[in-house]
Structure 1
């Protein structure tokens, strides 16, 4: 991997890590629905001209049904879930639960696409989900707070979002393999915008949001969604998906850092341990780290 690729990988992690910060800054004033709707609308306005410049708009017409489902499951619903979670839990904690996406992806690919799970990957799933249970046990409370939110439902929302991400990965592999990645990314934002525009208008805040909240939404839409998608697919083309997935390990670090700097969010021992356990499980599940757990071949078999 070239130094320029490493820098872009870190930039992508910094942008996606910042998305949890911006959701924390915007969710309270806009509400989850309006925040998610503005995010996908802004990303659509950024990505659609890029797709038109590459003359790939026809791809959307050809594959619109499958792309619409990806937009619903990979953008509209997860963005709503994370925006809701931002009302109750810290940016760092949301990002740690987001790191479980490869675990759900591997599990769904095994159940649906019959992808092979080696003993090392199975161990990774067990370790990763044990980290989730550790964090959920420490942080979850379904008792509503003063604002009506609860950490328990926020954690459920985060895990629901990552489950949808995992399903979307398998669906994309099964139905959209070979389709231009930028077309899938753009189409998913267009689809999510179509789904969320009317609910966004219905749940529009009665009190005008502050300039800080508007700035957070603008950066969330343009930088953390639009620019990040371009970086993500460019890295996949240059260094491959297995190397690009390393961004998963960097996002929580940046999210915790941004939350600490800008929101004075604390970092607990449970968060550090849970994050470490989840990332170890993710490394094993994605194959970045393998352990010789299979049965050794005999000399005859060799």
Structure 2
């Protein structure tokens, strides 16, 4: 059952890149994400029904605000911006660099020593990114290069948020963190959403994309994610990172007719191998030395 839930979660989060690509061109990145986190906070609203949750919210609102900014508001907007210029499949692959940034931040900020496998993994991750974006870097498509950089800012932000939440919110119930991050994100993004609200009619398909993002890819996905953590452990739940690109590329090709070439496949494989090394899921040098 856990394996099925993991695959379902990967399929849902892989679809988020499809929905963002469908909605960002009509809503604009900031209004789209403001709607996404606002809807998600409503879906997760029962989390704060208890007096204990509300007390924890009042005592931890400052770090929860930081997590909301760095784990939702900023990275979601960066991804939404990037989908204006690059494919949903490419976005989902680059999303897999999050653990690489997490390992680097742990080394720089928390002074955690890196193994040779982890260093090799980060180097491979960089090579994978270069493979994916080489055409954009060697051409005159500056907007696509900026879009890729926006995604890397998003994954860097995810990496920071993960370590920050572990240091400041260790005793807090994960569902409360999930709700608060969406709620504070909605508050922060509300002024920008009103300022950049589209002046033209928005299509029905774009509205459905927003609903899919808020209800399915954020609200319900968090519930499923925390269920996996409770039943199978955090490490098992976080392995969803390796499956998301598969579905992100598949949904983009199936529904948006995005091209999947050898460059995309090769870049994806290199990033995933690098991520596996950087997170300790795969060991090459240590096994080679032990052989």
TM-score range, shorter chain: over 0.9
1:247 aligns with 2:244: no
Structure with the largest fraction of helix: 2
Structure 1 residue 116 displacement after superposition: 2.7
Residue aligned with 1:217, SS = helix
Q: CA deviation at 1:295?
A: 10
TM-score by length of 1: 0.92
| Offset of residue 233 of structure 1 | 1.5
**2:200 corresponds to 1:221:** no
1:278 corresponds to 2:271: yes
Q: Which residue of 1 aligns with 2:80?
A: 83
Q: Secondary structure at the match of 2:243?
A: helix
SS in 1 for 2:170: coil
Q: Select between 12-21 and 40-49 the one with higher mean Cα deviation.
A: 40-49
Mapping for residues 119-158 of structure 1, pairs under 5 Å: 119-140=116-137, 143=140, 150-158=143-151
Distance in 2, matches of 1:230 and 1:127, equals 33
Q: Deviations over 1:223-261 (max 9, x none)?
A: 000111111111112111221122111101101111111
CA-based RMSD of the aligned residues comes to 1.8
Q: Is the 8 A contact 2:47 2:53 kept in 1?
A: no
- In the alignment, the residues of structure 2 paired with residue 224 and residue 266 of structure 1 have an alpha-carbon distance, to the nearest angstrom, of 24
Q: Deviations over 1:148-191 (max 9, x none)?
A: x8211110110000000001111111111121111111111011
1:51·1:182 contact (CA, 8 Å) conserved in 2? no
Q: 1:128 to 1:49 in 2, by over 3 A?
A: same
Q: Which moved more, 1:80-89 or 1:231-240?
A: 231-240
Q: Does 1:40 align with 2:47?
A: no
Residues 30 and 193 of structure 2 are in contact (CA less than 8 Å); yes or no, is this contact kept in structure 1? yes
Q: Note the alpha carbon deviations across 1:82-141, whole angstroms, 9 max, x for none.
A: 110010000000011100000001110111112231111111111111111222223347
Hey, what does 2:184 align to over in structure 1?
Answer: 191
Partner of 2:17 in structure 1?
Answer: 20
CA distance in 1, matches of 2:151, 2:139: 14
- How far residue 221 of structure 1 moved from its aligned partner, in angstroms, is 0.6
- Which ranges in structure 1 are unaligned for 5 or more consecutive residues? 298-302
Q: Deviations over 1:31-56 (max 9, x none)?
A: 11110110110011111223326952
Q: CA 1:289–1:167 in structure 2 vs 1: closer, same or farther (change >3 Å)?
A: same
Equivalent position SS for 2:78: helix
Unaligned segments of structure 2, at least 5 residues: none
Q: How many residues align?
A: 290
Find the aligned partners of 2:201 and 2:94 in 1 and give their Cα distance.
31
How many Å separate the matches in 1 of 2:69 and 2:168?
Answer: 15
Secondary structure in 1 matching 2:286 = coil
Say if 1:18 and 1:295 are closer, same or farther in 2 by CA, change over 3 A.
Answer: closer
